[in-house]
Amino acid sequence: MSIKSIRKILVLAFILTVGLYGFSLADVLTPQPKDKPSPYTCKWTNNPPIIDGKPNDACWDKAIAIDNFHLPWLQEKDRPSRTKTKAKLLWDRDNFYYLAQMEDHDLFADVVEHDGKTWDNDVFEIFIKPSSKHTGYYEFQVNAANTFFDCFFPKKRELTENFADIVKADKFHMEAKVVLDGTLNKRDDRDKGWTVEGRIPWVDFAKTGGMPNIDEVWNFALCRYDYDIKEKSPELSTSAPLKSKTHADFHLFQDYAPMVFEGPIAPASTLGRVPAKNMKVVGSPEPPLPYKTINAFPKLKLKNLTCILPVPDSNLMLASSMDRPYAPSSIVRFDSREDVAESLTLLESKDTIFDMLFHPDYKKNGYLYLGCNG
């Protein structure tokens, strides 16, 4: 290595050391609210369920159950719902899948018109608010008579709005099947419950960007109306912490629970492999997983990146960029945040820098090695 290159390394190490002095992760991390629930993991399925209202598809065994239906708007008097609900969610490249098994001692549903007042019946409801980058949210309902209600709200629903026009504005393609364990609308007997299984294609979410990316976080609430002839009013319950008001409001999307979409897991190979003698190529026959690339720093305007890497033990990134291909490179530093828009230039090189590497003992000696072509 030439004296000139060594001098570059020492100067850059000094700049980085000074720049990192006094930096703390506590300065950039925002604490989560204490009552914010952990994200529900929506599992990927390679074998989607048959929509028949029966929870016997193998894929449902891998889905995480949601059974914490309660009445959070009662504040300190919050309690579990009188009748139990167990729901599960899955997704794949084409659809969002749901399954709900509900205890119900009086099966009641007389609304049979699509987009009718299904909430006047025993009904299962799904509210979905995609990423905070998008406005609007969705409501999907299926009552015990297998009648659907589906709607996109461009903003939080207000009582003064023309509700009928909003409901009719969009066409959805949800499919669902209900199976009853009891007799529908026979109010003088005791029923056991009902199950609904359904799927919603990602095209129905087109107004908010469609299918989520892997590891993307959306917000959601699963809700129920449970009517019983022995009770004066239906019991409303939900899986989300809807407690900003002291009465039930399923449209409080700011209180919805988070849900992260987990990507597919590569299946283990069942075939044994016998390596050929003197084989020097190592590989795998499986196709790449369906991951999607995203711009991690959409507001950061850097041209012709040749290398980017994190600074050890910090929330900073280094990048090598050029104004035009094969031009002299600049090394810049910026915060590792999605909304970062500015960078600090640390070095203007006369060479083209194709790679960078931190010394294994960088925390002590501050050495950064550059791979140049110039």
> pLDDT tens for residues 9-62?
444 443 444 333 333 333 333 333 446 689 999 999 999 999 999 999 999 999
Backbone CA torsion sign across 238, 239, 243, 245: negative
| Same-domain check for residues 200 and 334 | no
pLDDT tens sequence across 289-303: 666 677 888 899 888
| Same-domain check for residues 249 and 301 | no
Supply the CATH number for residue 150's domain.
Answer: 2.60.40.1190
How crowded is the C-beta side of 109, counted as CA atoms within 13 Å?
29
| Same-domain check for residues 19 and 52 | no
| Same-domain check for residues 13 and 49 | no
Nearest to 105 by CA among 224, 186, 51: 186
Q: Is residue 274 part of a domain?
A: no
| Same-domain check for residues 311 and 179 | no
Per-residue confidence (pLDDT) for residue 272, from 0 to 100? 56
Whether the CB-CB separation of 180 and 107 falls below 8 Å is answered with yes
| 8 has pLDDT over 70 | no
93 is written with which tokens?
């490249």
| Same-domain check for residues 108 and 255 | yes
Please provide residue 148's backbone torsions phi and psi, each rounded to the nearest 5 degrees.
Answer: -100, 150
Q: Is residue 33 part of a domain?
A: no
| Same-domain check for residues 157 and 301 | no
pLDDT tens sequence across 245-297: 999 999 999 999 999 999 998 665 555 556 566 656 666 666 666 666 778 88
| Same-domain check for residues 180 and 319 | no
Q: Is residue 159 part of a domain?
A: yes
| Same-domain check for residues 22 and 66 | no
Domain span holding position 359: 3-27+295-373
Rounded Cα distance between 86 and 101, Å, is 5
User: How many structural domains does the chain have?
Assistant: 2
